[in-house]
Structure 1
Amino acid sequence: MTNAPMIELRDTTKKYDDGPPALAGVTLSVAAGECVAILGHSGSGKSTLLNLIAGLDKPSSGTVTVDGTRVDQLGEADSARYRRASIGMVFQFFNLLDDLTVLDNVMVPAQLAGMGKREAQRRAVDLLGSLDIDRHAKTYPQRLSGGQRQRVAVARALMNDPALLLADEPTGALDSSSAEDVRELLLELNSDGQTILLVTHDVQLAASTAGRTIELVDGSVARDVVNPAGGATVNSSAGAVR
Structure 2
Amino acid sequence: MPDVIELAEVARQYDSTGTTALGPVSLTVPAGEALAVTGPSGSGKSTLLNLIAGLDKPSSGSVTVAGERIDRLSERGLARFRRDRIGMVFQFFNLLDDLTVLDNVLMPAQLTGRAGRAATARGGELLEALGVARHAKAYPGRLSGGERQRVAVARALVNRPDLLLADEPTGALDTASGAEVRELLVELNRSGQTVVLVTHDLALAEACASRRLLLVDGRIAQDRRTATANSAAAVAR
For residue 152 of structure 1, what is the aligned residue in structure 2?
Answer: 151
Scaled by the length of structure 1, the TM-score of the pair is 0.93
For residue 237 of structure 1, what is the aligned residue in structure 2?
Answer: none
- Quote how far apart the aligned CAs of 1:230 are: 4.9
Runs of 4+, deviation exceeding 4 Å? 230-234
- Quote how far apart the aligned CAs of 1:121 are: 1.3
For residue 239 of structure 1, what is the aligned residue in structure 2?
Answer: none
Can you give the 5+ residue segments of structure 2 that lack an aligned partner in the other structure? none
1:78–1:232 distance in 2 versus 1, CA, 3 Å: farther
Matched residues in 1 for 2:85 and 2:231: separation? 21
For residue 240 of structure 1, what is the aligned residue in structure 2?
Answer: none
CA distances 1:132-183 after superposition (whole Å, capped 9, x unpaired): 1100001100000000000000000001000000000000000010000000
How is 1:5-154 mapped onto 2 (pairs within 5 angstroms)? 5-17=3-15, 18-154=17-153
CA distances 1:174-216 after superposition (whole Å, capped 9, x unpaired): 0010000000000000000000000011111111110000010
1:104–1:79 distance in 2 versus 1, CA, 3 Å: same
Q: Which has the higher helix share?
A: 2
Matched residues in 2 for 1:149 and 1:179: separation? 12
How many aligned residue pairs are there?
Answer: 232
Q: Give the match's secondary structure for 2:215.
A: strand
Residue identity matched to 1:32: A
Matched residues in 2 for 1:233 and 1:27: separation? 26
Matched residues in 2 for 1:229 and 1:62: separation? 32
Can you give the 5+ residue segments of structure 1 that lack an aligned partner in the other structure? 235-242
How is 1:93-242 mapped onto 2 (pairs within 5 angstroms)? 93-230=92-229
Scaled by the length of structure 2, the TM-score of the pair is 0.95
Asked if the contact 2:130–2:154 (Cα under 8 Å) also holds between the matched residues in 1, the reply is yes
Matched residues in 1 for 2:208 and 2:127: separation? 22
Q: Give the match's secondary structure for 1:65.
A: strand
Residue identity matched to 1:176: T
1:62–1:232 distance in 2 versus 1, CA, 3 Å: farther
Q: Give the match's secondary structure for 2:3.
A: coil
Residue identity matched to 2:132: I
CA RMSD of aligned residues (A): 1.3
Matched residues in 2 for 1:232 and 1:35: separation? 14
Q: Give the match's secondary structure for 2:51.
A: helix
Aligned sequence identity (%): 61
